[in-house]
Structure 1
Amino acid sequence: MEPVEEIGHSDTLTEDEIFHREPDRAAQTAALLDEWDPTSATPVVEEEPTKDEIKPAEQAQEEKKEEPNALTAKQKEKLRRKEKYRNKPKSKSHGQPKPTGFEDSFTEAPVTPEEYLHERSIYHSDRPAIFRIQEALNRYQQKRRLLQQRMQVFAQYLRYGGVEVSAKMFGGVSEMELKAMDKEEIVVARSQTDISVDKMKLDIDFEHVAKSFLSFYLSDYYKSEGIDAIRLATDTIRNWLNYLLYHDVVPEYTDNIKSARTYCNVAEKQLWDNQRLLANAPGDFNKANSFLFGGFYYNKRTQSEQPQAWADENLPQDRAPMTPSVAQKVVMFALAASGTDEQSASFSDLAMRGELSAHAIEDIDGFEIVDILMPHDGIRGFYETYAPDLNVVGKVRAKAWRDPNSQPIDLAPGETLPNIHGLEFEFFVEEQLLQYCYLGMKVRTKVWELNCGIFFYDELLNVYCSFYTPSLNDLMIGWKAPRDVTKKTNEDAESSQEVESTGDAFSDEEY
């Protein structure tokens, strides 16, 4: 038997030689990338340590975090209050502004027995009235929310009555100082008003101050425009007077306060009527006469209506300017509808002859209304038939009036003012303006008289309430007592003499 030959490894076929395989492209690419950028190699994921490998210090720290801290008594009380507020049902006024104390439905809260006894002590009749009023003012400001506009009106009213008003009457007070004060001291510290002791010699008259402020100062100086501004002023003053009555601050002036309160009610309507009459007066008839006879509404240069005559009135912008023919039509139809036969005949006769003329009545400031005659159905039917484009005219009867607040008339030595008692007028006024007129209304204007016995008035300068009461209180607002300037002058003179004598003494010394 022949021996088997030994097989060498070089003669043996490998697996790659038996089976043809494609090279691994991904592996080759990764190998090349590793050669060029070794940092791009696949990161080694670190295995998370097991629970047995956690350090004992870390375990203690986690156990410490899990244990809750004990709440203090203050924190517990705070949480209890929050939980109580969270469970409380929402109010219907949630998110609405806080009440101010001036709402129509507002009523004073009942006074407790303790409050009553305290008020009887501070409002005792033995104390001077101005001290009691000052105490009431301090508490009134605490009980009411006086917003900016209301506070401005109330401050003007108080200043007009002699009360000093300032934003920080007693200086700024810090929170720390407030905590150290009692309730009464806080009320005084937050007050913005002060009545000085020298006011004790003045008379207290709530009625006079209310009448004068509403009828004189409010319309001439404060210029409250619009019904809302008027109501704001009257409501504020009425609310303050009601507070005095409710808390029985000055019982000896109860009737006086009630009378002042009634003028607040009257002023609300009359002040608004005054503003509306000023915005629309003098009316077509009086304006036509002013235009025809050289009054305010006639421009001598252009022989036509004054261009600025209608600027401040609530009239259409496309209104045709008044011409002589239009003015004559307005006057003639007013006389035919509301005038007497004598007035119509005299006016026509003088107009035909060219002898119509007018003159202003001197030494008066205007008129006061004593009667109002509204047009009847016959006059309305006459206008609807023959002049539908014109306004229906009624009548106003008035008497001459002098403004007690006007400048005195310059008179020659020995000359006296004419007596105006019994001097009365009758004006033709459109029906749309008669709704703003009332008895006692005082109108400051120039009154004219035609030579046929017809009166008319010109531009309205101002309109006042029936209780018009001018006062000199406005002159005392901001007044300060005069100081002796001669005392300081004498002190300066003495100090200068001392300096001169000292200088002479030094000059005589030898060095």
Structure 2
Amino acid sequence: MSSPASPSSPADSGAASVGDTVNSKPSQRPENAENAEVTVVEAKAKDDEAKKKRKKRAGKKKAVTGFEEYYCDPPLTPAEYEEEKNILYPSYRPFDARIEECIQRFRARRRMTNIQDDLFSRYLYLGGVDSTQRQFQGTRNMKKEEMGGLSQGEVRDIIADDVIQRGASNNPRFYNPTCPEHWEVDFVGVVAGFLSVDLVEFLRGSGGHFNIGAEVVSNFLKYVYRHEVCPEYSEDIVSALKLCDKARAEMAAIYELYTLVPGSFNEACSLLFGQGDDERHTLNTEWSLDQKKVLDKSMARTIFGVHVALLSDRDHSHKISNAMKKNELAITETTEQTVEVVKRIFPNEQLRARYRSVINHLDTLESKLEIEVCGSLVVRPTVVIDGWDNPTADDDKDKTAEESEVFFVEESILKLLEVGMKLKAVVCTLNTNLKFIKCVHRIYHSFYTFLPQELMFYYKEPAKGNRPAPNVHDADEDSENENERILDGIPDDGVEE
């Protein structure tokens, strides 16, 4: 019989050592893996923190232009104040030298875009300042190293394009202090001419750019006023600043007026009595073209009857009503007029109550027609000077003394119109002496001012020619030479080569 092996046998000891080895390996591997995982997590955390720090870093700040909404020039140091008061803008220094220095310093302290720079140059041009770019110099792109040891003032004088003509350079396009005839200092007049004529014609309907032009001029005037460049004209500068605000408000109203005029009443009159007009008209009551309301003759007849009954006096209303029933209303005169707004008569509470009763009655009939409350617009003939030759200007000036005219227009239009605004419109007169506006071609600001300097934008002085002027002795010879020159390019058969 054999007996079982004892624990102290060599086989047992070998088995035990193998088992110990197998059991000991797993106990060491998790510890190493744990350390590796901790190292990876810490590295990731450091990377995330580094990324966050990079994100938190402030980027390159945008350069200040000087035209920000709440921008204000930095306060002057005592040294700068003394320099401006005693050296740059003292009262004994001529005005043209002070304003020239101011323009150059203002342009150096503002970062203008291309459109701002162009509009500001046009404004200066209307004021007689030469702002044309200097040719063959290219100093604007010069580096600081190339300037040498020049001071800031000397550098500004080198690169400045805005100068006032002096001495013998008597260019009629610009103001010259040595020849001050036909020139006077008028900040309000130049601003009015720039905002009401030049800027409107130059931009051709770009409302955003109009505000840019008004802001550039306003910013410059504030700079002139704040630095006391010409305190003798401070009241004029303040008035010019107010005019800039008024121009922005009126320009926004004018853009909206173009979408509303002539109004539903005048549209109805054009449809009912206009000869050769379409059977259906589009009311300019909405901004979007596809939302405009189409007006037919039945709707036009209702609109016309309601407004005439409520706005005209009793006798005139009966006269128009009888002529309407007999189909005798017709246009007797159609003229293109330029009129100025003299007065706006808004509907009173009694008239509003009458309109409400009519509107409620139409609602009970389930009518889709919308009646807007109307008021009266009082105008008078005027003359708009625009630089073009007008042979009838004297006759038009005589008409301005005539009695004023009254038109019926919607209240929404009356609110946008300002006293002094001018309208170029086609006016029709019925055989009952009722007048209506058929269409409006142009709306002008209330401060419309045409400056003679407008005519000098593209003026060129006549150059001396080598060719003698034609006279009676060589007239036939010139005509023969011209005929020969024309015939040289045409063959004998009459067909061009």
Instruction: Give yes or no for TM over 0.5.
Output: yes
Does residue 165 in structure 1 map to residue 131 in structure 2? yes
The structure with more radius of gyration: 1
Residues 233 and 379 of structure 1: CA distance in aligned 2, closer, same or farther (over 3 Å): farther
Which amino acid is 2:299 matched to? Answer: V
CA deviation string 1:195-241 (max 9, x = no partner) = 22242223221111011111222223333533x43332222111101
Aligned residue runs from structure 1 range 198-347, under 5 A: 198=170, 199=175, 200=177, 201=180, 202-226=183-207, 228-294=208-274, 298-299=276-277, 303-305=278-280, 314-317=287-290, 319=292, 321-347=294-320
Deviation at 1:458, TM superposition (A): 1.9
The residue number in structure 2 matching 1:472 is 452
Mark the CA change 1:113 to 1:90 in structure 2 (over 3 Å): closer, same or farther: farther
* Number of matched pairs: 390
Unaligned stretches of 5+ residues in structure 2: 1-52, 364-368, 469-497
- In the TM superposition, what whole-angstrom CA distance separates every residue of 1:111-152 from its partner, at most 9, and x where no partner exists? 222212322312233333222211111110111111223223
1:151 match: 117
Secondary structure at the counterpart of residue 317 of structure 1: helix
Query: Aligned runs of 1:2-81 on 2, under 5 Å?
Result: none
**Is the aligned partner of 1:189 residue 2:158?**
yes
Letter in 1 for 2:204: K
Structure 1 regions of 5+ residues with no counterpart?
1-85, 491-511
Residue identity matched to 1:110: P
SS at match of 2:416: coil
Q: Could you tell me how far apart the structure 2 residues matched to 1:259 and 1:415 are? A: 34
2:396 and 2:262 map into 1 onto residues whose CA distance is 31
Distance 1:256 1:342, change over 3 A: same
The separation in 2 between residues aligned to 1:96 and 1:453, in whole angstroms, is: 67
CA contact (8 A) 1:366 1:447 kept: no
Change (3 A) 1:361 1:255: farther
Match of 1:67 in 2: none
CA separation in 2, counterparts of 1:371 and 1:102? 37
In structure 2, what is the equivalent of residue 442 of structure 1? 422
Corresponding residue for 2:66? 101
**Of 326, 334, 347, the match for 1:353:** 326
Deviations 1:315-363 (A, max 9, x none): 5426564332222121112223333322321111111223212234658
Is 1:112 paired with 2:77?
A: yes
Q: Distance in 2 between matches of 1:188 and 1:383?
A: 72
Change (3 A) 1:421 1:148: same
- 2-side partners of 1:220 and 1:423: how far apart? 32
Q: Decide whether aligned partners of structure 1 residues 450 and 90 sit closer, same or farther in structure 2, where only a CA change above 3 A counts.
A: same
Identity of aligned residues (%): 24
CA contact (8 A) 1:399 1:422 kept: no
Distance 1:428 1:153 in 2: 39
Displacement after TM superposition at 1:96 (Å): 4.4
Q: CA deviation at 1:95?
A: 3.9
One of 177, 194, 204 as aligned partner of 2:146: 177
**Corresponding residue of 1:25:** none
Other structure's SS at 1:171 match: coil
- Please give the per-residue CA displacement for 1:377-434, whole angstroms capped at 9, x wherever unaligned: 314413431335223132133222222315565469x989754424222222123323
CA-atom RMSD, angstroms?
Answer: 3.1
- Is residue 396 from structure 1 mapped to residue 383 from structure 2 by the alignment? no
Distance 2:289 2:459 in 1: 47
Quote the offset at 1:291 in angstroms. Answer: 2.2
Among 86, 106, 111, the alignment partner of 1:140 is: 106
Distance 2:155 2:461 in 1: 30
